Amino acid sequence: MAQTSKIINALSIDVEDYFQVSAFEAHINRDQWSQIDCRVERNINEILALLDEHDVKATFFTLGWIAERFPRLIKQISDQGHEMASHGYDHVRVTKQSRNDFAQDIQHTKKLLEDICACPITGYRAASYSINRTNLWAHEEILNAGHRYSSSVYPIHHDLYGIPDAPRFAFRPLPGTDLVEIPVTTLEIGSRRIPCGGGGFFRLYPYPVSRWMINRVNAKEHQSAIFYFHPWEIDAEQPRIPDLPWKTRFRHYLHLDQTKQRLGALLRDFSWAPMNQVYFGKQQSINDFPVFSLQ
């Protein structure tokens, strides 16, 4: 069943390898990263082929650590017409950074990506959606670094992240500025917000459930959906990390062998474009985004 509305949704990929996820922090030290065989290049090329098959462009929120090691891959993504955006340097959650460390991190990563791609980097997404009410200063530093938008607040209850009462759709978190925060999509059912914007939830739900939820956001609320996934989520052959807690193991490895097929259906059933095109195209004005202070 194809979507019933003409709304264009925003497709995003968080470019990090399987061993860099926040859930593995206690099991794989960052000092070990350079000794591990990366699988991100193979997976990204597979994703680029899938996007090309469906004539879809996307936003690639990319780690600086990856960009330094695979500059030709990053340039290839940009040259093929996709939007390059920042995911910080090495996937440190904002909740674990000082304000100064965070500012240096995102400034360095932005410059690194711009030097490789020779184009402005206007978007930023925090590792594990780690902007919450303890570090709202992060929005000021994102603005100071020269980014136009952030996609770093998840408006849900979750054991690892979230601002449950944040707006569900794009808003300006700093009154008097043009910075826009673009939350990943949720569906409101009664008093509950249900995640429907990708990641592990996309692998957890049967695909018809995800399709129904995104279609409802489009058709009933007349809003674009923001969807994300990771390159490792199409890689069922990735090495298994031993001795993981059952919840971490379940969340990371669930239905990896089905993700690519589901993504193909998603690309077919809905209209997609990069974040900057969906939110800052010719038809948009900054006044379209309401001001909402999270303070």
Residue 124 has pLDDT above 60, yes or no: yes
Give the relative orientation of helices 207-221 and 259-269 as an angle to the nearest 10 degrees.
Answer: 30
pLDDT at 207 over 90: yes
Kindly list the domain boundaries of the chain, sorted by start residue.
8-288
Fold of 8-288: TIM Barrel (3.20.20)
Q: What is the pLDDT of residues 108-121, one digit of tens each?
A: 999 999 999 999 99
Dihedral angle over CA of 255, 237, 259, 159, nearest 10: 60
Round to the nearest angstrom and report the end-to-end CA distance of the chain.
Answer: 41
In angstroms, rounded to a whole number, what is the distance separating the alpha carbons of residues 112 and 105?
Answer: 11
Distance CA 246, CA 218 (A): 35
Q: How far apart are CA 275 and CA 181, in angstroms?
A: 11
Q: What is the pLDDT of residues 39-96, one digit of tens each?
A: 999 999 999 999 999 999 999 999 999 999 999 999 999 999 999 999 999 999 999 9
Q: CA 227 to CA 215: how far, in whole Å?
A: 12
pLDDT value for 162: 79
